[in-house]
Amino acid sequence: MKGEVKKPAVLDWSAFLGLGIKESVSDFHCVEGWSVLECRWQGVPFVSLSEHIKPNREAKFVGFNCHDGYTTSLPLDVALDDDVILACKLNEKWLDSDLGGPVRLIVPKKYAYKSAMWIKIIEFIKTDRLGYWESRGYSNTANPWRNDRWARITEEHKA
């Protein structure tokens, strides 16, 4: 973890797990219209990670960079919701690489493209950065309850 934080950190596997594993049961919504109900994710709550690295007041967003080059971001207040988790297990089984293992983000109140797989770097940032899908026209807010799939076309998206 890096960026606008008081305690930048690189966590090995035991230090990551040492932040405390919790279970979070939630539905998983794909922008293509399907959902998987009542997924039982186990992992480190994002709020625990945040407490460990102590974001500065200037940190308003969190960027996620993945091993495959994928990126996305969230407002910090969304990432700190009590159901956002850095999952390492699904239904009590360790995540394999097909499901984003060893660690993937789960953001239940957003479409799945905000739930980044194969997380490599988490960066606390002052201003938002559009991620892979968001820079290609997907909604940056990604609210499945509002069917919020597409961004408004702006000069930013035309570039």
Residue 145: CATH number of its domain: 3.90.420.10
What is the average pLDDT score of the chain?
Answer: 92
Q: Which residues of the chain have pLDDT under 70?
A: 152-159
Contact (CB, 8 A) for 112 and 104: no
Asked if 44 and 21 count as a contact pair (C-beta separation under 8 A), the reply is yes
- Structural domain tally of the chain? 1
Long-range contact set of residues 33-38: C-beta below 8 Å, sequence gap at least 24: 35/144
Contacts of 19 (CB under 8 A, 6+ apart): 11, 44, 48, 49, 52
Which range marks the domain in which residue 106 is found? 2-158
pLDDT tens digit sequence for 43-68 = 999 999 999 999 999 999 999 999 99
Give the pLDDT score at 140.
Answer: 93
Q: Is 13 exposed, middle or buried (0-12, 13-18, 19+ CB in 10 A)?
A: exposed
Query: What pLDDT is attached to residue 29?
Result: 86
Predicted local confidence at residue 105, as pLDDT: 98
CA 95, CA 103: separation in Å to the nearest integer? Answer: 7
